[in-house]
Amino acid sequence: MNSLLTVAASIPALVLIFFVYKQDKKEKEPKSLLFKLVMFGFISIIPAIILEIIGGAVVGIFFDSDSVAYAFFECFFVIAVAEEGCKFLMLRLGSWKNRAFNFTFDGIVYAVCTSLGFALLENVMYVLSSGGFSLAVSRAFTAVMAHAVFGVLMGVYYGRARQYQSLGNIQKMRKNFFLAILIPGLLHGLYDFLLSVGNVVSILVFGVVLVVIYILMFVVVINASKHDAPAVPMYYVPARPVQAPPVQPYNMQPGMPAYQSQAQQMGAYGQQQVRSAPQPFYTTNQAYPKFAPASVQKINQAPSQVVVHNPLYGTYPGAINVTQAGMQASLEQARIQAAAAQAQMQANLNKNVADPAQMQANLNQNATAYPRMQTNMNQNQEG
């Protein structure tokens, strides 16, 4: 009988965990991590009970245990703070430094697993102590669902805190940590207070609150899944930016800017560089799967320099780039060389009329000059 009650008390929490897990569209979380967080949720009930006993005794000093004031302070300042605070503590211990925590929706998945781990054990304890199957069913639609809602709200702010931490905004990270406890704590306190008062009005309000928070949970989960975004930069992140090794330019003329061929760029950076938006060269032993690249800004006044702006590491020199001004100057020089060669050919033709022997020598010279001119033009056009 006890085993059946345990299963009946466990099923609602497991179903809700599965629902939230399926909404994680971008990247599924490791099942071992989710199981660990459920276990951490189990553990969080121990300090929560201790804090509730101590807090209840303190409140009892100032208010009669049957008064509404006692119920208010116990529900909002003891039970809600103790349970949501302990769940948040175990949530952070179990997931904050985990490399799998790389999207904002991951925060919801982790918080729901921790919160429902707490609710699962609490539900089993209530059901086994009362010995009633009806209690297991009723709590499935009240307490367990409520803990799921609290977990979703906690996870929303927990995921945002991760995002701000990765951007170096510690102030907003701490603010979202606080909101991750405050918002579900207020809702938790209201839930317990309405049940504790127990009159007709409070029960009616309790029913309305239940319907609202259930709808809220599904709307928040579906919307957060739809707008899931990276919570950390997901390119290769170095301990500090490393500038790409220098490359010897080719086809340099005095006073002209240097530029590189595609093959030379491949050799310099180990990957193909797009000249209009080159990517920074990174070396690291800490890698994340994918993310938008750092923004790149060209400096036309210094053709051999590019400035890379990384939200984590600021601005620093990056890859070598070809500017439009440099290419235009190279093409202009090619035109000047072609005009000079053509003028020389015309002068040679004029001399041929007076001296047939010299004509043959000039023809040989022109045969050599023309391919050289054509080669120079082709090189500048390829550049």
User: Measured between alpha carbons, how far is 243 from 269 in angstroms, rounded to an integer?
Assistant: 10
Alpha-carbon span 20 to 107, nearest angstrom: 11
Average pLDDT rounded to a whole number, residues 315-322: 39
pLDDT higher at 140 or 251: 140
Give the SS3 label for residue 297: strand
pLDDT confidence of residue 330: 62
Report, as an integer, the average pLDDT of 168-172: 92
Cα separation, 363 vs 185, in Å, equals 95
**pLDDT tens digits, one per residue of 281-312:** 333 333 333 333 333 333 333 333 434 344 44
Q: How would residue 176 be classed by pLDDT, with cut points 50, 70 and 90? A: very high
- What pLDDT digit, counting tens, does each position of 109-131 carry? 999 999 999 988 888 888 777 76
For 128, the enclosing helix (H) or strand (E) is: helix 104-130
pLDDT of residue 255: 43
Over residues 363-378, mean pLDDT: 69
The CA distance from 266 to 368, in Å, is 34
Evaluate if residue 276 carries a pLDDT over 90: no
Looking at per-residue confidence, does 346 or 195 come out higher? Answer: 195
Calpha distance 197→203 (Å, rounded): 8
Name 55's bridge partners.
none
Q: What is the pLDDT of residues 26-62, one digit of tens each?
A: 889 999 999 999 999 999 999 999 999 999 999 999 9
Q: Which residues pair with 317 in a beta bridge?
A: 307
* pLDDT for res 274: 36
* Residue 334: pLDDT band with limits 50, 70, 90: confident
Task: Give mean pLDDT, residues 208-213.
Answer: 90
Tell me how far CA of residue 89 lies from CA of 85, 92, 158, in angstroms: 6, 5, 11
Residue 103 DSSP one-character state: B
- Which of 252 and 102 is assigned the larger pLDDT? 102
* Polymer length in residues for the chain: 383
Sorted by sequence, the CB contacts under 8 Å of residue 229 that are 6+ apart come out as: 103, 104, 163
Nearest to 242 by CA among 310, 295, 155, 341: 310
pTM of the full structure: 0.62
pLDDT at res. 267: 39
Q: What is the pLDDT of residue 157?
A: 97
Does 190 have pLDDT greater than 70? yes
**Structural domain boundaries of the chain?**
2-226, 324-382
**Alpha-carbon radius of gyration of the chain:** 35
Which of 48-52, 195-199, 372-376 has the least mean pLDDT? 372-376
Q: Write down the mean pLDDT value for the chain.
A: 75
> What's the pLDDT tens digit per position in 66-111?
899 999 999 999 999 999 999 999 999 999 999 899 999 999 999 9
DSSP 161-219: HHHHHHTT-HHHHHHHHHHHHHHHHHHHHHHHHHHHH-SHHHHHHHHHHHHHHHHHHHH
Which range has highest mean pLDDT (58-62, 309-313, 331-335, 341-345)?
Answer: 58-62
pLDDT of residue 141: 80
How far is residue 74's CA from residue 95's CA, in Å, rounded to a whole number? 30
Higher pLDDT, 325 or 173: 173
27-52 burial, b if ≥16 CB within 10 A, otherwise e? eebeeebbebbbbbbbbbbeebeebb
For residues 219-231, average pLDDT: 91
Task: Give the model's pLDDT for residue 225.
Answer: 93
Q: How many CB atoms are closer than 10 A to CB 161?
A: 26
Q: How is 39-91 classified by DSSP, letter by letter?
A: HHHHHHHHHHHHHHHHHHHHHHHHS-TTSHHHHHHIIIIIIHHHHHHHHHHHH
The average pLDDT across 156-184 equals 94
Percent of the chain residues topping a pLDDT of 90: 40
User: In angstroms, how far is CA 187 from the centroid of its own chain?
Assistant: 28
Would you place residue 370 in the very low, low, confident or very high pLDDT band (cuts 50, 70, 90)?
low
**Residue 184 confidence class, pLDDT cut points 50, 70, 90:** very high
Indicate whether 148 pLDDT > 80.
Answer: yes
Average pLDDT of the segment spanning 241-262 = 43
The answer, yes or no, to whether residue 222 has pLDDT greater than 50, is yes
State both tokens at 101: 């925590």
**Whether the Cβ atoms of residue 147 and residue 131 lie closer than 8 Å to each other:** no
Cα separation of 382 and 377, whole Å?
A: 9
- The H or E element containing residue 326 is helix 324-354
The tokens for 150 are 């609290």
Tell me if residue 139 falls in helix, strand or coil.
Answer: helix
Angle between the 2-22 and 104-130 helix axes, to the nearest 10 degrees?
170
Q: 3-state class of 317 per DSSP?
A: strand
What is the reported pLDDT for 250? 40
For residue 195, what are the contacts with CB-CB under 8 A and spacing of at least 6? 202, 206
Q: What is the mean pLDDT of residues 191-213?
A: 90
